Amino acid sequence: MLMRGGTSKGLYFLAADLPDQPEQRDELLVRIMGSGHPQQIDGLGGAHPLTSKVAVVSPSRRDDADIDYLFLQLGVDQTTVTDQQNCGNILAGVGPFAVERGLIEPGAGSTTARIRMVNSDSLVTATFATPGGVPVYSGSTAIDGVPGTAAPISLLFADTVGSATGHLLPTGSVCDRIAGVQVTCIDNGMPVVVARATDLGITGYESHAGLTANADLADRVQSIRLAAGHLMGLGDVRHASVPKTTLVSSPRDGGSVCTRTFIPVRPHTAIGVLGAVSVATALLFPDAAGADLVQPLGPDQPFDIEHPSGHLLVDVELDTARQPPMVRRAGVVRTARKLFDGTVYAASPASDH
C-alpha cells in the first residue's frame, strides 16, 4: 500500500509478504523503490528522501503492544537501506494500515492502536477515526507541508528517550563545541544535532531552494554531524541517515522557534515528527544551543516549531529537576491518507540483466 504519512510518503508492507532475511528483504526493496538512480526512475520512489521510505508492519511480539512497525529509510541515488532511525510521519499511517490489513480490530467510532516502534523498541499510542469499523482519511485537520485537510491521527509517545544512542543527552553534556560551533546533541525519538543558524553563516530563514544550492553549508553540516556521530556513540555516520541536523533561529511567524533541518545533509522541506520532538526537548534546557532564541508561548501551550512549509505543534514536558532529566510526555497530531493499494512489480536483480 502506498500512503502519505504526515509530510512523508512511503510503501507499507506486511512483514509476512517480504523475505525473512534482512539482506534479501532490503535487496528487494531497493529494486521496488528504484534506489540507485537520482530519479528512482525504475521504481516507486519519488526522487527524495521524504518519498523513499518503507514501513514493515506485523502483529507485535510484545504483550503491551498490538502491532510492530519497522521503519526503513532507502537511499535515492544510492542503494542503501537503514533501520537506524524511526519516522514519526510514516508512523501516522501504520494504525490505519493495520486495520486495512486485518491486523487489529477497529473500534466502532475510533481505534486506539498500541504500536511498537521496532527501530528503538519504544511505544506509541495512535488514535484515529474508524466510523463503522473502517479507517476514514478525510477530515478537517490541516498540517503544514500537506495540501488540504484530512482526519486527525493523535500520536502519544512513550520510551523515546535514547532511541538510537541510549541517552537523552548522548554526549553527557547539554552543550558541546564542534568546529567552533556550539551544539546540543539530543535523542528523544531521533538523534539530532541542534545549532544556531547564524553560527553556520546563514540567517535560518532561507528557502528550501536557497539551502539546497548552498554547497558550502552542506559541507559544514556534514563535518559537524560526522564529529557529533562519534561524540554521540554512533560511530562513523558518513553513510548513515542519523544524526539529523537542525539549525534554529528566532521565530518570525508567531511560533516558538524557527528551524531548518537537514536529512542528513539534504535540506528538509519541513521537519520530521520525531526530529521536532527532539529539537523541542533540547530547547527546554536553558543552556542548550539556541535556547535563548525561543519565544515562550505561555503555560500549557504546545511548542510551535516553524519550518519552511509552516508550523508543527509538539507537546513535550521535561522534568529537569531530576538527574538525568526525565521526559514526562511527548505527542503530536498528524494525518495520513491511503493513495494506492495493489501489486508492485520489482525490477529484475542486477544479475539477471
Residue type, position 178, single letter = I
133, 39: one domain: yes
pLDDT of residue 351: 56
Residue type, position 328, single letter = R
DSSP label of 141: B
pLDDT of residue 159: 81
Whether residue 298 has pLDDT greater than 80? no
131, 44: one domain: yes
82, 180: one domain: no
CATH number of the domain at 139, please. 3.10.310.10
Write the CA distances from 79 to 27, 45, 186, 225, integer angstroms: 8, 12, 28, 22
| In-domain check, residue 195 | yes
Which DSSP helix (H) or strand (E) runs through 227?
Answer: helix 215-231
pLDDT of residue 301: 78
| In-domain check, residue 328 | no
The candidate with the shortest Cα–Cα distance to 135, out of 103, 157, 158, is: 103
User: Cβ distance 127 to 135 under 8 Å?
Assistant: no
Cα angle vertex 159, ends 84, 259, to 5°? 65
12, 116: one domain: yes
Q: How far apart are CA 188 and CA 158, in angstroms?
A: 10
189, 272: one domain: yes
pLDDT of residue 308: 95
| In-domain check, residue 161 | no
User: Cβ distance 333 to 155 under 8 Å?
Assistant: yes
192, 291: one domain: yes
Compute φ and ψ for 265, nearest 5 degrees: -125, -5
The per-residue pLDDT for range 87-109, each reduced to its tens digit, is: 999 999 999 999 999 999 999 99
Q: How far apart are CA 56 and CA 17, in angstroms?
A: 9
Question: Cell digits for 105?
Answer: 480490530
Whether residue 129 has pLDDT greater than 60? yes
195, 284: one domain: yes
Range of the domain at 143: 2-152+336-352
286-295 mean pLDDT: 96
User: Cβ distance 196 to 216 under 8 Å?
Assistant: no
**Strand partners for 113:** 126
12, 97: one domain: yes
The per-residue pLDDT for range 139-191, each reduced to its tens digit, is: 999 999 999 999 999 999 988 899 899 999 999 999 999 999 999 999 999 99
**Which residues are CB-neighbours of 142 under 8 A, at least 6 positions away?**
148, 149
Whether residue 353 has pLDDT greater than 70? no
The model's pTM: 0.79
Percent of the chain surpassing pLDDT 70? 99
